[in-house]
Amino acid sequence: MKATLLALALMGASATSHADQAIMGVTDAQAVDADTGIKVAPGFRATVFADGIGRARHMAASGSGWVYVALARQQDGFGAVALFDSDGDGVADVRQGFAPGMAGTGMGINGNYLYFATDEAVMRWPLPEAGAPEGEAEVIVKDFPNERQHSAKPFTFDDAGHIYVNIGAPSNACMEKMRTKGSPGMDPCPILEQFGGVWRFDANKPGQTQADGVRYATGIRNAMAIDWNPHADTLYIAQHGRDQLHSFFPDLYDETQSAELPAEEFHRVEEGADLGWPYSYVDASIKGRVKMPEYGGDGKMLSDRGQEPLIAFPGHWAPNDLSFPRTDALPEGWRTGAFIAFHGSWNRAPKPQAGYRVVYAPMDADGNLAGDWVTFADGFAGEDPVMSPRDAKHRPTGVLVADDGAIYFSSLMSGGRIWKVVYEGK
């Protein structure tokens, strides 16, 4: 079954789910909407919710309709922005900056608090009834290590008072000499003591450091896409795979193989899980995990280190956010699955880049796959081929399903944009 799912993952991205014929993604025959620049699944309609807001990343939406967006760089001195559509036309006509002097990626609402994460800390404000939060933020976790590479701190919450924070590995494959041709990998990998996993903290206790947390899972290079599945009551992540197989091991991998490998892995993550980085990776054409070349692999040799993913997406699509619906406002079939935003990578070069889309993986209430994944929204990058991420007009960097059923996408390109998608089908 797992081998079949891996093979399906690399097949046509607009396939219809066998489990629920209501799940249909975008098709090649669909035209990109001239006003929004994208195309979305049948029955849904998109609007440009906000433009020119800065390098938008992850988002949160309150029950009162305010949308809060983290910014990777400050815009007008602020590291986040609050947006509101006062007349209900699908376009935000109110915007307020907050988090002065900061920048970050993580954004979320838990209880009556709005949480925001820079690369070094997670903080919160009381959630306003309207508008941006004011005053000094309360720091929940501080002094995270910031090694620049994979330094963002996306997070999610369970229903038991915990916050789960991704701490990415500042490394490609834990080589003795970082990103050096032929350098062997370190075993055991010392980076995993402090990085390369998900740590769990008390969501309501101020002043914690990483030492106060619990390493919930390890072997995760960088899980920018992280969310708690409220239906299955379990953590899920999609992680960025390693780079430069051809550059470092040209005798084992050609340019085409390097562009397509390794797969981007989507996992269900239980406490204590080890997903396999840096010792193994996934090649969807091979049953089982493959040993990394830094650890003696030859591109075919299997490894017993790490767990099999639920889905192996094409290589170097770069999953950047993950959102499970928490509402019945969406049509049946779209309520319990995973929306994943891929912002594309640079590592397919010199081949054309790929990704730049939002997909939907249908799942049942127990967190099991219920059909083939489909492309939910596409067209972000603009004209093909995209040879470099800089050539892409937009790169999806966030996806959020709000409680009213609206689905939001963010992009950090072209000045920063937010789309709003609503269901209008029967």
Contact 103, 79 (CB under 8 A): yes
Per-residue pLDDT tens over the stretch 103-114: 999 999 999 999
Mean residue pLDDT across the chain: 93
Cα distance between residue 9 and residue 146, in whole Å:
33
At residue 297, what is the residue type? G
- Residue 179's pLDDT is what? 83
- Residue 349's pLDDT is what? 87
Q: Indicate if the alpha-carbon torsion angle 22, 28, 29, 33 is positive or negative.
A: positive
At residue 357, what is the residue type? R
Which whole number is the average pLDDT over 236-261? Answer: 95
Which whole number is the average pLDDT over 241-262? Answer: 95
319: preceding bond cis by omega (within 30 degrees): no
For Cα atoms 172, 174, 179, give the angle at the middle one, nearest 5 degrees: 50
Neighbours of 63 (CB within 10 A): 11
Read off the pLDDT band of 4 (50, 70, 90).
very low
Pairing of strands 214-218, 273-274: parallel
**Residue 414 pLDDT > 80:** yes
Cα distance between residue 14 and residue 41, in whole Å:
9
Which whole number is the average pLDDT over 42-67? Answer: 97
For Cα atoms 409, 415, 420, give the angle at the middle one, nearest 5 degrees: 25
**Residue 11 pLDDT > 60:** no
DSSP-derived letter for residue 159 is S
Contact 81, 49 (CB under 8 A): no
Contact 23, 17 (CB under 8 A): yes
**Residue 309 pLDDT > 80:** yes
What ranges in 108-254 are assigned the alpha helix state H? Answer: 245-248
**Residue 292 pLDDT > 50:** yes
Q: Which helix (H) or strand (E) holds 2?
A: helix 2-9
Read off the pLDDT band of 182 (50, 70, 90).
confident
- Residue 238's pLDDT is what? 98
Cα distance between residue 113 and residue 94, in whole Å:
21
Q: Which residue has the tokens 């390369």?
A: 196
Read off the pLDDT band of 17 (50, 70, 90).
very low
- Residue 254's pLDDT is what? 96
Residues 6+ apart with CB under 8 A from 121: 139, 140, 141, 142, 143, 144, 153
Which whole number is the average pLDDT over 127-139? Answer: 97
CA atoms lying within 13 Å on the CB side of residue 288 = 10
- Residue 384's pLDDT is what? 84
Cα distance between residue 210 and residue 193, in whole Å:
11
Read off the pLDDT band of 148 (50, 70, 90).
confident
- Residue 146's pLDDT is what? 84
Cα distance between residue 85 and residue 103, in whole Å:
24
Per-residue pLDDT tens over the stretch 318-376: 999 999 999 999 999 999 999 999 999 988 888 999 999 999 999 999 999 999 999 99
- Residue 201's pLDDT is what? 98
Cα distance between residue 189 and residue 278, in whole Å:
8
Q: To the nearest whole percent, how much of the chain has pLDDT over 70? A: 95
Per-residue pLDDT tens over the stretch 79-93: 999 999 999 999 999
Which residues are 226's β-sheet partners? 237
